Homo-oligomer: A and B are copies of this chain.
Amino acid sequence: MGTAVAGLDHAAIASALDRLVLWARRGTPVRLSSTSATTLDTLDQDGPSRITLLAHREGVSQPAMTMLVTRLADQGLVDRVHDPADRRAALVSITAEGRRRLAEHRRARTTTLQALVAQLPADHQAALASALDALNALTETALTGREGH
């Protein structure tokens, strides 16, 4: 748990992040929706998961996750396997094709962002590099509701 740091304008940060992400998304040939991308990312990093758990992790309703998984499965990006131990449950896992698409999506986003960052003066780029750990900690906090892993 940290202490408040003076001079951190949260409203400005929120606004800046909003615009940046909107722009980067629009500047990238759309291959995956936001939730599709982060869901595949979660499956890639954390391994197979149940629908309900995925829904909670991604912050969408469970029916929405059911339909998202159906769409992803139709594209061959994930596999649905019934849990032999609990036949109500389904286990969703990312496929090789899913990983390929995820990597492709990341490359496209990276290219878009790189083009932007490359235009910044070196000190701004350095500031971003220094803030990367903090950004990742922030998203980790957002995902898990607590600090760190």
Q: Are A120 and B138 in contact (CB under 8 A)?
A: yes
Q: Are B59 and A26 in contact (CB under 8 A)?
A: yes
Q: Are A147 and B119 in contact (CB under 8 A)?
A: yes
CA distance A132 to B12 in the complex (A): 8
9 nearest interchain CB pairs? A131-B131, A124-B134, A23-B142, A5-B125, A26-B59, A14-B109, A19-B139, A127-B134, A11-B110
- Tell which of B24, B118, B142 touches A20, judged by Cβ atoms closer than 8 Å: B142
CA distance A60 to B117 in the complex (A): 23
Could you say which of A31-39, A70-78, A84-92 contacts chain B? A31-39
8 A Cβ contacts from A73-103 to B: none
